[in-house]
Structure 1
Amino acid sequence: MEDLLTLHRKQIRDLQSVITQKKKSATKKTRRGVSEECESLERNLKEKQAAEIAALEGDSNPTNATEEDIPITHTENEPSDATKAILTKLEDTQLDDPAPTNHEKFTDAPKKQNRQKARLARRAAQIDEITEQAKQEAAAMPDLRAIEAARMKQLFDENNLIEIQIAPDGHCLYSAFALGLEDAQIPLSTDAEQGNDGKKRGYTFTRKAAGDYISAHADDFLPFLEEGETLDSHVNKIQNTAEWGGQMELLALAKKYAVTVKIVQATGVGVTSMNEDEGKEANVWLAYHRRGYGLGEHYNALRKKA
Structure 2
Amino acid sequence: MSEEECGDSPMEELLSRQRKEKKDLQAKFLAMKKTAKSGNKKQQKESGEEMIKMEKEMEERHKREVEEIKEKSGAAAPQEVKSGEKGEEKEEGGAFYKEKTTKGKNQKRMERKAEERKKQAAAASVDEEAAKTSMRTMEMKAVVETLLPRGLSLVDIPPDGDCLFHAVAHQLTIGGKECLGADLRRRAAAFIRSHKDDFLPFLSTEDGDILDEFQFEEYCVKVEKEACSGGQWGGEPELRALAETLQRKIEV
TM-score range, shorter chain: 0.5 to 0.7
Pairwise CA distance, 1:95: 3.3
CA contact (8 A) 2:22 2:89 kept: no
Pairwise CA distance, 1:237: 0.9
CA contact (8 A) 1:20 1:97 kept: no
Distance 2:161 2:106 in 1: 51
1:34: which partner in 2?
58
Q: Which runs of 5+ in 1 are unaligned?
A: 51-89, 189-201, 264-306
Deviations along 1:191-233, whole A, 9 cap, x unmatched?
A: xxxxxxxxxxx11100000000010111110111013433211
Larger Rg: 1
Structure 1 residue matching 2:200: 3-state secondary structure: helix
1:253: which partner in 2?
242
Question: Match of 1:100, as an amino acid?
Answer: G
Q: Which runs of 5+ in 2 are unaligned?
A: 27-50
Number of matched residues?
208
CA contact (8 A) 1:166 1:172 kept: yes
Deviations along 1:150-197, whole A, 9 cap, x unmatched?
A: 111212211111222211000001111112222222354xxxxxxxxx
Pairwise CA distance, 1:117: 7.1
Correspondence 1:94-113 to 2 at 5 A: 94-97=77-80, 99-102=86-89, 104=91, 107=94
1:169: which partner in 2?
160
1:221: which partner in 2?
199
2:76: which partner in 1?
93
Deviations along 1:114-147, whole A, 9 cap, x unmatched?
A: 7787677667767867876887798789921111
1:21: which partner in 2?
20
CA contact (8 A) 2:169 2:181 kept: yes
Structure-2-length-normalised TM-score: 0.66
Residues 236, 182 of structure 1: alpha-carbon distance in 2 compared, 3 angstrom cutoff: same
Query: Which of the pair is proportionally richer in strand?
Result: 1
CA contact (8 A) 2:11 2:75 kept: no
Residues 139, 250 of structure 1: alpha-carbon distance in 2 compared, 3 angstrom cutoff: closer
Correspondence 1:1-306 to 2 at 5 A: 1-2=1-2, 4-7=3-6, 9-24=8-23, 25=25, 27-46=51-70, 90-97=73-80, 99-102=86-89, 104=91, 107=94, 143-186=134-177, 188=179, 202-227=180-205, 228=209, 229=211, 230-242=215-227, 243-263=232-252
Distance 1:141 1:181 in 2: 32
Question: Match of 1:19, as an amino acid?
Answer: Q
More deviation in 136-145 or 159-168?
136-145
Pairwise CA distance, 1:105: 6.1
Distance 2:130 2:169 in 1: 40
Distance 2:70 2:75 in 1: 11
Q: Percent identity?
A: 23
CA contact (8 A) 1:174 1:206 kept: yes
Structure-1-length-normalised TM-score: 0.55
Question: Match of 1:152, as an amino acid?
Answer: V
Distance 1:187 1:132 in 2: 47
Distance 1:32 1:161 in 2: 88
Q: Which has the higher contact order (CA 8 A, sep 6+)?
A: 1
Distance 1:160 1:137 in 2: 34
What is the RMSD computed on CA atoms of the aligned residues?
3.7
Distance 1:165 1:222 in 2: 32
Structure 2 residue matching 1:92: 3-state secondary structure: coil
